[in-house]
Amino acid sequence: MDAWGRLNAEIVRCDLCPRLRRWCTEIARTKRRAFRDEEYWGRPVPGFGDRAARVLLVGLAPAAHGANRTGRMFTGDESGNWLYAALHRAGLSSRDVSIGRDDGLALHGAFITATCRCAPPDNKPTPSEIATCGRYVDREIDLLLRVRVVVALGGIAWAAVVRRAARVAPGALPRPRPRFGHAAETTLVLRRGGPPVTLLGSYHPSRQNTNTGRLTRPMLDAVLRRAAAI
């Protein structure tokens, strides 16, 4: 088994956060009525995409009836519908919709991960859960040697990436510490001795943001076009 296989196997069997494991297991047992005939994944969700990616997208966590059901990041819910359609328009995804981990969708030059690998109650992981799960994002970054752009989908993801930079290259961290905002942009060093990487911010494509117009399709497209251009 290669390094990716070992990492993904470790993620899937992780039980370091008892609250999250109980919640995901309960959701997988009770299910949503619309998906009552499906078998839920119900386990921590590994990252997904092109392992030679130059663009890394970091989200918050699997949705209870999205990736916690399908087993693939941003798959099977409205947030994923927004994101994959935008990735397709940017030339980073082979399809504009993702319904399951075996649907044939492939990412080109992009990799998707999340700050937490288990669906949290109310979409709110605790700081300790975020810190515990940070080891997996760290290891993915270590393996994604070609990444030149990170797109943080939301403030929690942005903060997690900045903390990684502060750990590995504190002397290269901009001062003051970069603050999240939609279309915010900064440069960080994410691997010791590695090249600078551009960090881009985007509002998360959650229903709370898309239904209210806080995030529009042109706004998300602009961030992903910028990432692809870099």
CATH number for the domain harbouring residue 87: 3.40.470.10
Output the furthest CA–CA distance in the chain (Å, rounded).
53
8-22 pLDDT, tens digit per residue, is 999 999 999 999 999
Q: In 3-state terms, what secondary structure has residue 222?
A: helix
Q: Are the CB atoms for 49 and 151 separated by under 8 Å?
A: no
Q: What is the CA radius of gyration of the chain?
A: 17
Q: Are 190 and 208 in contact (CB under 8 A)?
A: no
Average pLDDT over residues 93-104: 93
Q: Which domain holds residue 21?
A: 3-229
DSSP H/E element including 134: helix 127-143
Residues 123/67, Cβ–Cβ less than 8 Å: no
Q: How many CA atoms lie within 13 A of 31 on its CB side?
A: 12
Model pLDDT for residues 194-226, shown as the tens digit of each residue? 899 999 999 999 999 999 999 999 999 999 999
Confidence (pLDDT) at 84? 97
Name the band, by pLDDT with cuts 50, 70 and 90, for residue 193.
confident
Find the mean pLDDT for residues 181-189: 97
Q: Structure pTM? A: 0.96
Kindly report, residue by residue over 105-142, the tens digit of the pLDDT. Answer: 999 999 999 999 999 999 999 999 999 999 999 999 99
1 has a pLDDT exceeding 80: no
Number of domains in the chain: 1
Long-range contacts, 224-229 (Cβ 8 Å, 24+): 224/86, 224/87, 224/89, 224/90, 224/92, 224/151, 225/90, 226/183, 226/185, 226/200, 227/55, 227/90, 227/149, 227/151, 227/198, 227/200, 228/55, 228/90, 228/91, 228/92, 228/109
Q: What would the two tokens of residue 164 be?
A: 């990684």
- Which residue has 């590995």 as its token pair? 168
